[in-house]
Structure 1
Amino acid sequence: MKIHPLITSSQDLADLCARLAKADFVAVDTEFMRENTYWPELCLVQIADTNEAAAIDPLADGIDLTPLYDLLVNNEEVLKVFHAGGQDVEIIFNATGRTPHPIFDTQIAMMAISQSEQIGYSNLVESWLNLTIDKGARFTDWSRRPLTERQIDYAIGDVTHLSKIFPKILKRLMKTGRGSWLNEEMEKLADPENYRNDPTEAWKRIKAPGRNPQMLGRLKAIAEWREMEAQGKNIPRGRIARDETLADLAGHPPKQQADLAKVRGLSQGWKDNEIGKRLMATIAGSQPLSDDELPPRTPRGAPLGKEGALVADLLKLLLKIRSREIDVAARLLSRSDELEMLAAGVRKNLPILQGWRHDVFGQDALDLVEGKLAFAVENGKLKMTHVDDAEPTTPATETSEDQTPS
């Protein structure tokens, strides 16, 4: 495979992308920094097909990234391969307003051919290529220039290895016939709604007890305010105020700005500075949530109760057994909250009762809840037995005491 020097010119990038546009797939990775900014700062892009690989410097003076973004988001003929690519996709979405498509994530794919829930990249490379990655450059400040040769080699290795591993994973998927299982998961990864940052929705990420419309209305208002403050200053939202501080402010709103000095997580200066004044104005202007906006009373279905909790535990045991039997990550088959909803009586809109999940696991889970499936130990191993398939027992002979006198 040909490894190019660090690409810093628009012409070299355009030439590279023109060649890669003819490939069946490209492996993609990014290096970025987000510790001190609201928006992640793209510092390096690595890309490879089976013939060549390169690192692209998006911080190079005057470089035009249009050909790269055109390849990633507009070219539907080339498959884009990532490993644990959520943050990479987010960065591309922030830059273009679109997500790469079609897309393939090797971490997700490994869930369909092994019991690995979230296999790391180093373990992926070791298991498929029998190589140990030098982790010395993991904590590089990728925004600093110049980058050393060692740093660039480390970064490019992420895609050169991935371009060799992907065909192997694809071959395994084709052999097992499980490739179609992943279609929905890959489309979720590529869904732009996962990366769209709507400040009016920010409150939903904050844990707050109860359904009080006034309290949640304040939380919605100040969470949106925090997003706008952080975006305007391009600093992490936590630098403005932490989630628990917002929840405290929403539940116990200060009556006057001076009271902000007593709020845990805010500095003394907020009692008389401009940001404190803007926060107080936000709280004062907040409106209670409408009925339509309030979270549902039972977001995870009906309350389980003690018996339902036991059923949920049995379902989790069933999931563990099935995952081991077919060598699939349990998380790909079902999540714990789905099992709890099934145990609570929910039947509609559950992924485990639809499509391939129903065939592989969902029907057995439903049978267990409905008493049609039982656990048994055979030759020291736990197995599942359908009650309908069990050997019928011979009724006991009636005794004279049970017989009705004639």
Structure 2
Amino acid sequence: MKIHPLITTSDTLAELCERLAKSEFVTVDTEFMRENTYWPELCLVQIANTEEAAAIDPMAEGLDMTPLYDLLTRNEDVLKVFHAGGQDVEIIFNATGRTPHPIFDTQIAMMAISQSEQIGYSNLVESWQGLTIDKGARFTDWSRRPLTERQIEYAIGDVTHLSKIFPKMLKRLIKTGRGQWLDEEMEKLADPEHYRSDPAQAWKRIKAPGRNPQVLGRLRAIAEWREIEAQGKNLPRGRIARDETLADLASHPPKTQADLAKVRGLSQGWKDNEIGKRLMNAIAKAQPMTEDDMPPRTPRGAPLGKEGVLVADLLKLLLKIRAREIDVAARLLARSDELEMLASGVRKNLPVLTGWRYEVFGHDAVDLVEGKLAFAVENGRLKMTHVDDVVDAAPAAPAKDAAPTTDASPTTSD
């Protein structure tokens, strides 16, 4: 495979993208920094196909990234392959307003062909290629220039290894017939709505302190205020105020700006500065949350009762058994909250009861809840058994009042 020098000019990047546009797939990775900013700072992009690989410096002066972004987000003929690509996709969305498509994530794909739920890249490479990756440059400051040869070599390795692993993984998926299982998951990864930052929805990231409409209304207002402050200053949310502080403010709102000095997590200066004034304005304008906007009630944390909790535990055991039997990650089949909803009697709008998930696991899960499925031990291993099968296989018991039978012929008296 040809490895190009670090690309820093627009002409070289355009030529590379023109060649890559003829590929069936490209593997993509990014290096970025976000510890001190709200928006992740893109520092490096690595891309490869089966013949060539390159690292691109988006921080290079005058570099036009348009050809690369068009390849990733507008060219529907080239599959874009990532590993754990959520943050990479977010960065591309922030830069373009679009997401890569079509897309494939090898971490998600591993869930369909193994019991690995969040396999790391190093373990993926070791599993498929028997290689150990040098992690020495993993936590480097990618924003500092110039980049060293070791940094660039490490970064490019992420896509060169992936370009060899992906075809093998695709063959495995085709052989098992599980490729279609991943379609929905990949579309979720490419859905722009997952990466759109709407300050009005920021409250949903914070653990809600109960279901009081007034408290939730204030939480929504101050979470939106924090998001706008963080975006405007390009600072992490936590640098403005921590989630716990927002929850406390929502539950115990200060009456005056001077009271902000007493709030844990805020500095004394908030009692008379401009940011404190904007926070107080947000609290004052907060409206109680309507019933339509309230977070949906879910069985998580809700009383299932002792029997319901036991049923949920049995469903989780069933999930582990089925995942082991078919060698698939349990998380791909069903989530814990879905199983709790099943245990509580919910049967509508559950992914586990639709499509391939229902065929592979959901049908048996419903049977277990309805008493049609039981657990058995065979050769020291726990397995599932349908009750009807057990009954059919059991020898028939003699009738309680049946008369004993003999080989002698009946006799009659004259």
Q: TM-score, normalised by structure 1?
A: 0.96
Alpha-carbon offset, residue 352 of structure 1: 1.0
Q: Which moved more, 1:156-165 or 1:273-282?
A: 273-282
**Alignment partner, residue 164 of structure 1:** 164
**Alignment partner, residue 226 of structure 1:** 226
**Alignment partner, residue 404 of structure 1:** none
Contact 1:25–1:81 (8 Å) recurs in 2: yes
**Alignment partner, residue 405 of structure 2:** none
1:398 to 394, 397, 400: 400
SS of 1:147's partner is: coil
SS of 2:46's partner is: strand
Contact 1:301–1:341 (8 Å) recurs in 2: no
**Alignment partner, residue 33 of structure 1:** 33
Deviations 1:119-164 (A, max 9, x none): 0000000111111101000111000000000000000000000000
**Alignment partner, residue 292 of structure 1:** 292
Which residues of 2 match residues 7-406 of structure 1 at below 5 A?
7-298=7-298, 303-390=303-390, 391-392=393-394, 394-395=396-397, 397-398=399-400
Partner Cα distance (2:59, 2:301) in 1: 49
Partner Cα distance (2:261, 2:139) in 1: 37
Partner Cα distance (2:88, 2:80) in 1: 11
Deviations 1:324-357 (A, max 9, x none): 1111011111111111111110111111111111
Name the CA shift for 1:284/1:301 in 2 (closer, same or farther; >3 Å).
Answer: closer
Name the CA shift for 1:184/1:301 in 2 (closer, same or farther; >3 Å).
Answer: farther
Partner Cα distance (1:232, 1:299) in 2: 38
SS of 2:61's partner is: coil
Deviations 1:10-57 (A, max 9, x none): 000000000000000000000000000000000000000000000000
Structure 2: which amino acid aligns with 1:95? A
Partner Cα distance (1:213, 1:349) in 2: 26
SS of 2:324's partner is: helix
Partner Cα distance (1:301, 1:349) in 2: 20
Contact 1:353–1:363 (8 Å) recurs in 2: yes
Contact 1:333–1:352 (8 Å) recurs in 2: yes
Contact 1:301–1:344 (8 Å) recurs in 2: no
Deviations 1:353-399 (A, max 9, x none): 11111111111111111000000111211111101111246356436
Name the CA shift for 1:199/1:299 in 2 (closer, same or farther; >3 Å).
Answer: farther
Name the CA shift for 1:63/1:299 in 2 (closer, same or farther; >3 Å).
Answer: farther
Alpha-carbon offset, residue 300 of structure 1: 5.3
Name the CA shift for 1:145/1:48 in 2 (closer, same or farther; >3 Å).
Answer: same
**Alignment partner, residue 403 of structure 1:** none
Contact 1:302–1:345 (8 Å) recurs in 2: no
Contact 1:302–1:341 (8 Å) recurs in 2: no
Unaligned runs of at least 5 residues, structure 1: 401-406
Deviations 1:302-331 (A, max 9, x none): 742110110111111111111111110111
SS of 1:164's partner is: helix
SS of 2:253's partner is: coil
Structure 1: which amino acid aligns with 2:213? P
Structure 2: which amino acid aligns with 1:325? E
Structure 1: which amino acid aligns with 2:269? G
Contact 2:209–2:215 (8 Å) recurs in 1: no
Contact 2:209–2:216 (8 Å) recurs in 1: no
SS of 1:63's partner is: coil
Rg (Cα) greater in structure: 2
Q: Which moved more, 1:311-320 or 1:377-386?
A: 377-386
Name the CA shift for 1:302/1:272 in 2 (closer, same or farther; >3 Å).
Answer: closer
**Alignment partner, residue 406 of structure 2:** none
Partner Cα distance (1:298, 1:17) in 2: 47
SS of 1:374's partner is: strand
SS of 1:231's partner is: helix
Partner Cα distance (1:326, 1:273) in 2: 60
Contact 1:80–1:104 (8 Å) recurs in 2: yes
Name the CA shift for 1:321/1:47 in 2 (closer, same or farther; >3 Å).
Answer: same
**Alignment partner, residue 411 of structure 2:** none
Partner Cα distance (1:301, 1:237) in 2: 27
- Identity of paired residues, percent? 84
Unaligned runs of at least 5 residues, structure 2: 403-414
Partner Cα distance (2:73, 2:303) in 1: 44
Alpha-carbon offset, residue 281 of structure 1: 1.2
Alpha-carbon offset, residue 292 of structure 1: 1.2
**Which contiguous aligned blocks of 4+ residues in structure 1 show a shift greater than 6 angstroms?**
none
